[in-house]
């Protein structure tokens, strides 16, 4: 088997697993590169490792992520191998790669491989957990008013089918202390003892608000409430220790911050609920246990999910999550200070510093002409793209327009300066 750009990707053959092929990123960026990796964050890493069009200003990594060229090569090679003999690939080979990828990701998120599997995305994750729970008209599901829309709809769907109720914790801004959030959950749990299942955001998507999930999980456990953590933005952004977290279920996208091709999310079930948990698709491996149930769901393309391990390897090739967090968090704060200073009337979302997501910032837009509707959101986003080539997220939160920007390893302050100048243009025109 020939090499695939040995400067980035190595081909390793594991005889112990029946000769299957595992691709992992080499450390051969070089010892000098490894020592100097922080200096390569920014424009150089974007140019060398990512496929973005050069004229674009990418400030919305949190929506769809971005796949490094090195990982794309791994994905392409897997697809090629699958086509050389699709029969042997599907019948005898792909499971080895699936297991190896899960094991690599499990190390990143602090989980036993036995409790971890892959699903298509976080939306599939929540529906999997809900469908695996037996609800009656006497039960309740708890969400919040900022819960991701698809998660809200999933809860509503289950309520329509089973007659259970949906309750919501309502957040308003400013939030002065994370304990306010914990107290709101305690109040809801105590006022509605029929709550059986709680959907708890790790990072609230529109607001980039980092939730105090540990005390909330503790409150749920004390009341025998099933806790589901929507960690869509967590893998690759948060230091995770799932086996220690104490939640019943966790899902998180690998494509957002963990350098994995789209179509891959993790799904975690603890020992209390794992035996009752099944995949959404019923296949002939339905009753062969958690691993095989989620692995074999008819004939499908496994390439994104078996590349998750390569995404983790790429993350480590940059110095690991701690180095990435150091760069991103410092730049995020520098960016927010610049925005508030240079864009008159802009104000960061009023939440305490310990509730700000590491790689994202959210600020309220100053006076503008745009409608406070979803149409207004779309128009502003399109104006920024069509006039200034900026991809950034615009959110309507409690009848105010906010901008959510993302920082990742290829972002530089010039991107933020361009965003501020573009906003000055479109907001006053």
Percent of the chain with pLDDT over 90: 89
Percent of the chain with pLDDT over 70: 91
Give the number of other Cβ atoms within 10 Å of residue 368's Cβ.
Answer: 16
Q: Is residue 90 domain-resident?
A: no
Least confident segment among 31-35, 89-93, 258-262, 276-280: 31-35
Instruction: Mark which of 312, 344, 379 sits at the end of a domain.
Output: 312
Q: Is the pLDDT of residue 7 over 70?
A: no
Residue 238 and residue 167 share a domain:
yes
Confidence of residue 428 (pLDDT cuts 50, 70, 90): confident
Confidence of residue 40 (pLDDT cuts 50, 70, 90): confident
Give the number of other Cβ atoms within 10 Å of residue 323's Cβ.
Answer: 16
Stretch 233-238: mean pLDDT, rounded? 98
Give the three-class secondary structure for 116.
Answer: strand
Residue 213 and residue 116 share a domain:
yes
Residue 329 and residue 262 share a domain:
no
Q: Is residue 31 domain-resident?
A: no
Q: Is residue 97 domain-resident?
A: no
Decide: 348 and 336 in contact? Cβ < 8 Å.
yes
**Which pLDDT does position 9 carry in this prediction?**
38
Give the three-class secondary structure for 119.
Answer: strand
Burial status of residue 418 (CB atoms within 10 A of its CB: 0-12, 13-18, 19 or more)? middle
Q: Is residue 93 domain-resident?
A: no
At 137-193, the pLDDT tens digits run: 999 999 999 999 999 999 999 999 999 999 999 999 999 999 999 999 999 999 999
Tokens 């309750």 -> residue:
167
Q: Is residue 212 domain-resident?
A: yes
- For 145, half-sphere exposure in the C-beta direction (CA atoms, 13 angstrom radius) is 10
What are the backbone angles phi and psi of residue 306, rounded to the nearest 5°? -80, -5
What beta strand segments (E) does 120-163 contain?
A: 140-144
What are the backbone angles phi and psi of residue 228, rounded to the nearest 5°? -115, 120
Residue 225 and residue 112 share a domain:
yes
- Domains contained in the chain, number: 2
Q: Is the pLDDT of residue 20 over 90?
A: no
Q: Is residue 56 domain-resident?
A: no
Confidence of residue 39 (pLDDT cuts 50, 70, 90): low
> Concatenated DSSP letters for 184-209?
HHHHHHHH-TTEEEEEEESEETTTTE
Least confident segment among 111-115, 195-199, 242-246, 283-287: 283-287
Domain that holds residue 285: 104-312
Whole-prediction pTM: 0.92
Residue 335 and residue 229 share a domain:
no
> From CA 176, how far away is CA 305, in angstroms rounded?
40
Q: Is the pLDDT of residue 324 over 80?
A: yes
Q: Is residue 333 domain-resident?
A: yes
Q: Is the pLDDT of residue 24 over 90?
A: no
Q: How far apart are the first and last CA of the chain?
A: 58
> From CA 51, how far away is CA 95, in angstroms rounded?
30
Residue 326 and residue 308 share a domain:
no
Give the three-class secondary structure for 310.
Answer: helix
Q: Is residue 36 domain-resident?
A: no
Residue 352 and residue 231 share a domain:
no
Residue 356 and residue 234 share a domain:
no
Instruction: Mark which of 289, 312, 335 sits at the end of a domain.
Output: 312
Instruction: Mark which of 312, 337, 365 sits at the end of a domain.
Output: 312
Residue 263 and residue 158 share a domain:
yes
Stretch 306-326: mean pLDDT, rounded? 97
Residue 281 and residue 231 share a domain:
yes
Q: Is the pLDDT of residue 387 over 90?
A: yes
Looking at 237-373, list the stretches that DSSP marks H as alpha helix, in order from N- to C-terminal side: 242-245, 290-295, 303-306, 308-317, 321-342
Residue 423 and residue 306 share a domain:
no
Q: What is the CATH number of the domain that holds 399?
A: 3.90.1150.10
Residue 408 and residue 329 share a domain:
yes
Q: What is the CATH number of the domain that holds 293?
A: 3.40.640.10
At 85-135, the pLDDT tens digits run: 999 999 999 999 999 999 999 999 999 999 999 999 999 999 999 999 999
């Amino acid at each position: 088997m020939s090499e695939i750009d040995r400067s980035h990707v190595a081909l390793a053959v594991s005889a112990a697993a029946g000769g299957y092929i595992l691709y992992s990123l080499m450390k051969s960026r070089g010892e000098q590169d490894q020592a100097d990796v922080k200096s390569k964050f920014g424009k150089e890493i974007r140019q060398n490792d990512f496929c973005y069009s050069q004229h674009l200003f990418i400030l919305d990594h949190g929506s769809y992520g971005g796949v490094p060229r090195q990982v794309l090569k791994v994905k392409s090679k897997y697809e090629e191998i699958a086509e050389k003999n699709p029969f042997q690939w599907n019948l005898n080979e792909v499971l080895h790669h699936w297991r190896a990828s899960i094991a690599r990701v499990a190390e990143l998120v602090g989980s036993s491989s036995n409790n971890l599997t892959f699903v298509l995305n976080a939306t599939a994750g929540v529906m999997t957990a809900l469908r695996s729970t037996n609800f009656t008209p006497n039960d309740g599901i708890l969400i919040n008013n900022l819960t991701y829309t698809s998660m809200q709809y999933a809860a509503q769907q289950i309520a329509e089918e089973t007659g259970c109720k949906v309750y919501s914790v309502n957040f308003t801004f400013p939030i002065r202390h994370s304990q306010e959030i914990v107290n709101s959950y305690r109040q809801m749990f105590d006022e509605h003892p029929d709550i059986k299942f709680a959907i708890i955001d790790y990072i609230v998507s529109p607001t980039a608000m980092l939730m105090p999930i540990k005390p909330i999980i503790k409150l749920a456990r004390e009341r025998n409430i099933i806790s589901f953590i929507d960690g869509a933005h967590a893998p690759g952004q948060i230091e995770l220790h799932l086996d220690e977290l104490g939640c019943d279920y966790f899902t998180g996208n690998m494509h957002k911050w963990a350098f994995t091709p789209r179509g891959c999310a993790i799904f975690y079930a603890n020992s209390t609920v794992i035996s009752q948990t099944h995949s959404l698709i019923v296949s002939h491996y339905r009753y062969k246990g958690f691993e095989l149930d989620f692995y074999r769901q008819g004939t499908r393309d496994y390439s994104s999910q078996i590349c998750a391990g390569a995404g983790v390897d790429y993350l480590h090739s940059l110095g690991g999550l701690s180095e990435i967090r150091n760069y991103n968090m410092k730049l995020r704060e520098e960016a927010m200070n610049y925005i508030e200073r240079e864009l008159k009337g802009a104000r960061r979302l009023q939440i305490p510093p310990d509730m700000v997501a590491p790689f994202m910032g959210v600020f309220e837009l100053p006076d503008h002409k745009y409608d406070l509707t979803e149409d207004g959101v779309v128009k502003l986003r399109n104006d920024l793209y069509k006039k200034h080539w900026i991809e950034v997220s615009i959110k309507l939160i409690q009848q105010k327009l906010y901008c959510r920007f993302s920082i990742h390893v290829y972002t530089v302050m010039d991107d933020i300066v361009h965003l501020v100048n573009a906003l000055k243009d479109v907001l006053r025109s």
